[in-house]
Structure 1
């Protein structure tokens, strides 16, 4: 792939990652999709290769590489046709670990971040609640200060890695009267007394574990507070930009995979004396699909470039997710149609791709919520700014 954003080193990394995934991951995908459980050994293999530490500073055991290594990591994970496996990997590395990288104290980083880079500990991010959905400010989970501890009560749902994780990054109200300005972020060890996790049964992302988590008088050391008390909402909003860009990149990558597969199929499948790729009606529809993909992919690279330079990209990342996930659903739907009856068969990749892709416009903020965020920025002239995070000892 020739691009102004990727160097020769990036391309070498891509080839190495593709080879790794082909040898170490692909042979197990069908088993993991069927069982809904990803074997623990693969996390450690990812850790050994440094894949979980691409964005983590070297002093914390990572590689401290630019964001386009992450882009490659995300893109290639989408091309092994298991949205669930991909989600488990990036939810650990870029949801849980992003908060560890940015807000954790030195002690928490030593205990949780470094093992996360090595794949020895698995993390998850717990924000969404059963009664709140995309309404982060309306969360009901509370953390009440009691001496040198906080007492956590509440529940979270739709949590990727929530069942098999080792630790959770949890958002809770420390001052409910302040609404969104009274939210804090905590690190909660999965083995803490009072934590229970129930596995959810999903339409897609079958390989990943998605859990509903309950917290019943869970005692958290005060030292497990991440960043400043009552500043959690700002941290969440800032990191949502990365999450939404990730989902935009995932969308264009799985679309690229779907189109490549579909075009190959169309060149080999014959009907009425010629291959499907020679029929004008199909050719033109496929070209429209490709054009939509190209627009989203190049836009996403531009947003990634801005974010890599430290530019605050709430608006751009929101557009990325909104448009790219919609495009992916539409194009993959077309691709399944191009395969006819075979597209509906589980032996071909489009059926799973269609199911996995459908979560795109839902997870990480529904398309409806994203449109309202953009309306506030574009119409109401609302400005979002990053929260300064103090250096913790």
Structure 2
């Protein structure tokens, strides 16, 4: 048994699976074609108790933690969902934790509670055309003007940026480097704030992604999250949780692809025998199982470290980084083999494994590219 497998969490996972089978699986192909999720799905997920599982009750959540969010991830993939759907439906998992952490009751009432109730959609705006993983060099500028900030700049690759009602936005309020960064909550309807264009992607088709532009956007000073020039620390503290979430997406995708491949290998006959009768196929399934189980065990260990420790602890940071790397490697291997086992059918859009194959590619890029995370781990572990 791991931290994911307590009786209460197994019940939560089953609840998320049933919700997905009922509300998501019959519709996800259409949402992929549409390039977005319907807003009412957020309200349905909130009513089912899934939106706020990782947030305290005092801010409108269900009182769980990031482990409970991971269990929901497993349940959604078990039921036929996708990581693209998770990224879109649960974007608030990266959009509002900074606000909750700041304990700003006004911002919590205006943004956190409605989001967890499924009434608003939030997103996180950090990546820029010239600054992705290099957060300390972002250029979007916010100049103080009385009781407002005037924001100019651009963001790109912003998940849920098309549909979002607000964007928790990283801006430069001070000098160069990490010490001059702040977070502002910017309402989508603010004059000068535009969605430059929705972006077409290799995967995550049902998750809308946008370029955002800010042209003299005036934001009330009370929308500052935490202290001025204190945003970098808030961002870094939440990176551990984001990386762990992506690790679980990799694990859950691998688990689902393995189940689908094993089932297909028993049903599909070639030359008069099921695929599963072929030693080469059975060995593929064993290798897929082995890598998936190892990744889940490492990810469970990293989650346990995080909930029992501090997200600023180098050991916790390293475990999150390495768990994500392990899970991404396992996921990429398993979805590749799953498509191979499905053969021509695995290449068809009507095949679920085809979606997982496409969606898996972003996991080694988002939340810190593999290469960036390897370098970070090398420094923490004393190899650099």
TM over 0.5: yes
The corresponding residue for 2:37 is 38
- Distance in 2 (CA, whole Å) between partners of 1:159 and 1:297 is 28
Structure 1 residue 81: Cα displacement: 3.9
| 1:386 matched residue in structure 2 | none
Secondary structure of the structure 1 residue equivalent to 2:362: coil
Q: What whole-Å deviation, never above 9, does each CA across 1:186-211 have from its counterpart, x for those lacking one?
A: 11111111111120011110011100
| 1:151-198 deviation digits (Å, cap 9, x = unpaired) | 111111100010110111000111133x11111111111111111112
Deviation at 1:4, TM superposition (A): 5.4
Which residue pairs with 2:242 in the alignment? 243
Shift of 1:285: 2.2
1:230 corresponding residue in structure 2: 229
TM-score between the two structures when normalised by the length of structure 2: 0.95
Question: What does 1:73-92 align with in structure 2 at a 5 Å threshold?
Answer: 73-79=72-78, 80-92=80-92
- Cα–Cα, structure 1 residues 187 and 363, in superposed 2: closer, same or farther, change >3 Å? same
TM-score of the pair, normalised by structure 1: 0.93
| Structure 2 counterparts to residues 120-131 of structure 1, below 5 A | 120-131=119-130
Point out where structure 2 has 5 or more consecutive residues left out of the alignment.
none
Is the aligned partner of 1:257 residue 2:256? Answer: yes
Q: Within 1, Cα distance between the matches of 2:179 and 2:375?
A: 20
Instruction: Describe the SS at the equivalent of 1:283.
Output: helix
Aligned to 2:354: 351
Distance in 2 (alpha carbons) for counterparts of 1:116 and 1:317: 27
Shift of 1:373: 0.9
> RMSD of aligned C-alpha atoms?
1.5
CA–CA distance in structure 2, aligned partners of residues 185 and 4 of structure 1 = 33
- On the 8 A contact 2:16/2:76 being kept in 1, the answer is no
The equivalent position to 2:322 in structure 1, one of 296, 312, 319, is 319
8 Å Cα contact 2:19-2:48 kept in structure 1 = no
* Distance apart, 1:7 and its partner CA: 2.1
Question: Does the alignment pair 1:366 with 2:369?
Answer: yes
Are the aligned partners of 1:174 and 1:229 in contact in 2 as well (CA < 8 Å)? Answer: yes
Distance between the aligned counterparts of 1:30 and 1:52, measured in 2?
A: 22
Deviation digits for residues 326-380 of structure 1, max 9, x if unmatched?
2211211111111111111122112111111111111111111111111221126
Q: Distance in 1 between matches of 2:121 and 2:88?
A: 9
1:384 maps to: none
Show the 5 A alignment for 1:286-297: 286-297=285-296
Within a 5 Å distance, the mapping from 1:157-168 to structure 2 comes to 157-168=156-167
Quote the residue 2:212 is aligned against.
213
- Whether the 8 Å contact between 1:248 and 1:325 is mirrored in structure 2 is yes
Residues 42-53 of structure 1: pairs in structure 2 closer than 5 A:
42-53=41-52
**Structure 1: which 5+ runs fail to align?**
382-393
CA contact (8 A) 2:182 2:229 kept: yes
Q: Which whole-Å CA distance do the structure 1 matches of 2:95 and 2:25 have between them?
A: 25
8 Å contact 1:173–1:183 — kept in the other structure?
yes
> Who is 1:204 aligned against?
203
Aligned length: 378
Give the equivalent residue in structure 2 for 1:301.
Answer: 300
Deviations 1:249-268 (A, max 9, x none): 00010110000000011111
2:282 counterpart residue number: 283
